Structure 1
Amino acid sequence: MADKLQIFLTVVRHMNFSRAAEELYMTQPAVSQYIKSLEEELNVQLFDRSQKKIQLTKAGEIVVYYGKEINMLSTKMNRALDDLTNHVAGELLLGASYSYGEYLLPKCLAAFLTNYPQVYPRICIDNTTEIADKIINQTLDLGIIEGSIPIKRLVMHKIATDHMVIVAKSEQTVHNLNDQTWIIREQGSGTREAFEHFIKEHNIVPHRILEFGSTQLIKEAVVNGLGVALLSEWTIKNEMQLNKLQIVLKDKYNYNRDFHAIHLNTPFLSKTAETFLEFLKK
């Protein structure tokens, strides 16, 4: 059934037998025969062929849903079996929140790939909540997030401590933080969570809040005088060197948080993911 399922999913992706046949280097009649054979095996009709364009039946939609899961599990099984050879190689599916992913991960990966050149990483950058969801849905091997996330299905490993500071436009005078416009990340972001803990800890009531969807956008907004922000020192190095941003009230206000690597609570973490995790922890 595996071959028939792959052919079926290819037809679904194109919703066209001819295009699927081209991708599979098969003839259209051969593709049609495979689909017919799968329908007979499952005793259902997968496509409605009564219109000019084929459409999935309800049974077809069910087979698509579970067929994709079967594919994913098959891939994971093969990778787990490959790990028995103890080779650190192949695809590594990584997710990271913005602060770590955009500013620290590239350097870390470069060092790792020097030792393991046969690893091929694929990177997804998103906020902490989305990365956790992707780990749970098994579309990522490892995630790197800001702060922590209390989900029992996930295992967390501390990999670094992040020092966060208040930044303002260079030469801007900042005294009372309650009078400032604060530029912050969206809900679900680890940086947003840190900001909320920070203002609660210091009894700060912002005069105004602007919510932006990335660290880079926040930095540009601060550089242009729209307000102040609480950001990781790692993310502002270039702007500090170019004298575009300054750290304000550093002696009185700062915040530390941890970066964690997360993965699904499973005994079958791939050898490649396990090796990269140990590399991060060191």
Structure 2
Amino acid sequence: MDMQQLVYICTVAECQSITKAANSLYISQPALSHFISKVEDQLGVKLFDRSTSPLSLTFAGERYIEYARQILMMENNMSKELGDISKNRKGRIRVGFPFERCSYMLPLILPRYRKKFPGIDVQIFSSKGDILMDRILKGQLDFAILPFQNNDNDGKDKNLEAKLIYSEELFLVTAKNVVGPEYYVDNCPYAVDLNKMKDLPFIFLKKGHALRTFLDLLFGSYKIKPNIFMEIDSNTCACRLASANMGVTIVPAMTIELAKCETEVDIYSLTKHPVRWEILALYRKDAYLSEAEKSFFEIAGEVFSKRSFIQHYRADNRPDSGTGRPG
């Protein structure tokens, strides 16, 4: 048994198809099929049930995958630790980001990181948060940068460690003059009262997104049932729809920078005390964090904890800044 065998079998299990796995591994389908049959003959058990579609694991296969992932994780930890010991700054890190957060954060992190670690191959994978967490647990990612976790992900969180990168404010975004003084907190034109907002036509992300989970908990804590007018999959789209007066939305500061709305918008804090969520680096509790990985966290924290954002437009059509962009 060698590492190649473990990788090949795990890839087939992940893809649930020998053809797809062969494409992923850059080998021919007949060669991979022969390889699997040879391994099964050596072990004296069938690892895959070929009568099902998609391909499924037998009980023996499930046990093989469980041990294989542990061995691959140990091998990965050993390689990273020995790399640190030797100070040989060559290797790779596999990083996950949600789609929109990747386009916002990576261009600001990677130049500084490359300068410090020119020999490290940074491999990026973008997807939804739950998929990223699964890939961490399966050893397919070293870590992922994700917002707020609610500690209720089918037991996933108990196997993950979290490190704070920075905290980020959430804002109500509306077209100009949609929200009037009746929604303000203590007549403050920069902050709205959550208790007065329930009847506004909200554009929310669909359930399953981290922001939707956070907002459901936030409104629930105020015992408010918001008027959800539309559900979509993109914060940026929600922000742009709000700017077109198709509803109002709540998004992180990042999204306002990314959306580049065609028309000016009004931006309000949620209550007088800013509502913030945490942006975290998640990794397996049993993972060894290399110097290269720790430095990625540190650089990300340095970049975004110091990054400023022009937070508010005046509700009377006289914005604090002509652009609403970060300073």
Q: Are 1:179 and 2:179 counterparts?
A: no
Aligned to 2:86: 85
Of the structure 1 ranges 247-256 and 184-193, higher mean CA displacement relative to structure 2 is found in 247-256
CA displacement at 1:36 relative to structure 2:
6.9
Give the TM-score normalised by structure 2. Answer: 0.64
Secondary structure in 1 aligned to 2:158? coil
User: What amino acid maps onto 1:78 in structure 2?
Assistant: S
Deviates more, 1:90-99 or 1:158-167: 90-99
**Residue 119 of structure 1 aligns to which amino acid in structure 2?**
I
* Contact 1:157 1:281 survives alignment (8 Å): no
Does the CA-based 8 Å contact 2:170-2:270 persist in structure 1? Answer: no
Q: CA RMSD in A?
A: 4.1
Match status 1:147 vs 2:153: no
| Structure-1 residue corresponding to 2:267 | 247
Q: Which residue in 1 is equivalent to 2:210?
A: 190
- Once the two structures are overlaid, the 10-residue window that deviates more, 176-185 or 92-101, is 92-101
Q: Counterpart in 2 of 1:230?
A: 250
Corresponding residue for residue 166 of structure 1: 172
Distance in 2 between the 1:185 and 1:249 partners?
19
- Tell me if structure 2 keeps the 8 A contact 1:88–1:275: no
**Deviation of 1:240 (Å):** 5.9
Change (3 A) 1:24 1:99: closer
Q: How does 1:192-211 map to 2 (within 5 A)?
A: 192-200=212-220, 204-211=224-231
SS in 1 for 2:226: coil
8 Å Cα contact 2:147-2:278 kept in structure 1: yes
The secondary structure found in structure 2 opposite 1:93 is strand
Which deviates more, 139-148 or 244-253?
244-253
Contact 1:166 1:254 in 2 (8 A): no
Contact 2:95 2:141 in 1 (8 A): yes
Answer whether contact 1:127 1:190 (CA < 8 A) is retained: no
Using the TM superposition, give the Cα deviation of residue 89 of structure 1 relative to its aligned residue in structure 2, in angstroms: 3.1
Aligned length: 270
Shift in Å at residue 47 of structure 1? 8.6
In 2 relative to 1, CA 71–219 (structure 1 residues): closer, same or farther, beyond 3 Å?
same
Identity across the alignment (%): 19
- Residue 186 to residue 125, structure 1, CA distance change in 2 (3 Å): farther
Deviation by residue 1:21-77 (Cα, 9 ceiling, x = unmatched): xx669x97xx95x6676455323467999x9xxx99958955974686355654554
Structure 2: gaps (5+ residues): 152-156, 184-196, 303-327
Question: Is the CA contact 1:165–1:253 (under 8 Å) kept in the aligned structure 2?
Answer: no
Q: 1:102: which partner in 2?
A: 103
Inter-partner Cα distance in structure 2 for 1:7 and 1:141: 16
3-state DSSP of counterpart to 1:179: coil
Q: Could you tell me how far 1:229 is from its partner in structure 2?
A: 0.8
Q: TM-score, normalised by structure 1?
A: 0.73
Tell me the alpha carbon deviations over residues 89-109 of structure 1, each in whole angstroms, 9 at most, x when there is no partner.
322111234564332233112
Letter in structure 2 aligned against 1:179: D
Say yes or no: does 1:157 pair with 2:177.
no
The answer as to 2:22 corresponding to 1:2 is no
Contact 2:168 2:276 in 1 (8 A): yes
